[in-house]
Amino acid sequence: MTRDLFIRELEALQAEVLRMARMAGEAIHEAVEALRERDPARAERVIRDDDQIDALHLDLEDRCLRLLARQQPMASDLRTIAAVFAISIDLERMADHAEGISKAVKPLADQPLLKPLIDIPRMEELVQEMLRDAMEAFLRRDPALAEAMAKKDDVVDGLRSQVFRELLTYMISDPRTVPRALELLLVAQHLERAADHITNIDERVIYLVTGELRELNV
């Protein structure tokens, strides 16, 4: 494989991981909107479309491995391939959390929500901001942006704790609310974990540029 062909394939990998990020972000958004509207059909579409993200993840992994097998990349190229490989894993798991949120919609669809959805949509907004910034940092090779963005994970964690405290109050005051409260708590946990996966992406961006692999928000 010529160097020019290798570079083109490397650029194609990066374009595909950006497309996968858009798909994962859209899945999270659609899942939360399905919850907001208590729309099982919309939630079911998120669950069904997860297969597309899974397939793209497997395709990216395969292409990364084939590229490594056909070429002995330089250190910077090797880090790029490793970053794409790892980022695709975190994006696939983000999409799994969208599926998990969607599965909470059906048991809540025909019941009134315990409380107005304020903190959960705010968590989703932060997740979207984090994802956009993480992929921008990846595209621009900007470790400072990646590190700054990862700090938003603390805000997501705080909102998840707030949701837990409020739902716990409902469950204690009226045990009949427990099933509905647990579904909403699971949704908040899925969003918190989605933010954690984006933090992993930021760590990979820093590694890609600096060669240093370290944990953020420890």
pLDDT confidence of residue 218: 57
C-alpha torsion 154→82→133→116, nearest 10: -50
Alpha-carbon distance of 198 to 181, in angstroms, equals 26
As given in the structure block, the two tokens for residue 95 are: 């999409």
pTM for the full model?
Answer: 0.93
Q: Which has the closest alpha carbon to 98: 22, 152, 3?
A: 22
Q: Identify the structural domains of the chain with CATH numbers, from first to last.
A: 3-210 (1.20.58.220)
What does each of the 218 residues of the chain score in pLDDT, given as a tens digit? 677 787 888 899 999 999 999 999 999 999 999 999 999 999 999 999 999 999 999 999 999 988 887 777 677 788 899 999 999 999 999 999 999 999 999 899 888 888 889 999 999 999 999 999 999 999 999 999 988 887 899 999 999 999 999 999 999 999 999 999 999 999 999 999 999 999 999 999 999 998 877 777 65
pLDDT of residue 215: 75
What local confidence, expressed as pLDDT, does residue 213 receive? 76
Q: Report the Cα 60 to chain-centroid distance in Å.
A: 17
* Of 3, 98, 8, 115, residue with least CA distance to 54: 98
What separation in angstroms does the CA of 92 have from each of 72, 161, 194? Answer: 27, 25, 10
pLDDT at 10: 87
Length of the chain: 218
Instruction: Report pLDDT for 151.
Output: 82
Residue type, 158: G
Q: For residues 83 and 12, is the Cβ–Cβ distance under 8 A?
A: no
CA distance 34 to 28: 10
Distance from C-alpha of 23 to C-alpha of 141, rounded to nearest angstrom: 21
| C-alpha to C-alpha distance for 88 and 156, rounded to whole angstroms | 22
63 CB neighbour count, 10 Å cutoff: 19
Residue 100 Cα distances to 31, 159, 184, angstroms: 9, 19, 11
User: Phi and psi for 118 in degrees, rounded to 5?
Assistant: -115, -55
Look up residue 13 and give its two tokens: 């990998």
pLDDT for residue 1: 60
Angle at 16 between CA 13 and CA 22, to 5 degrees: 150
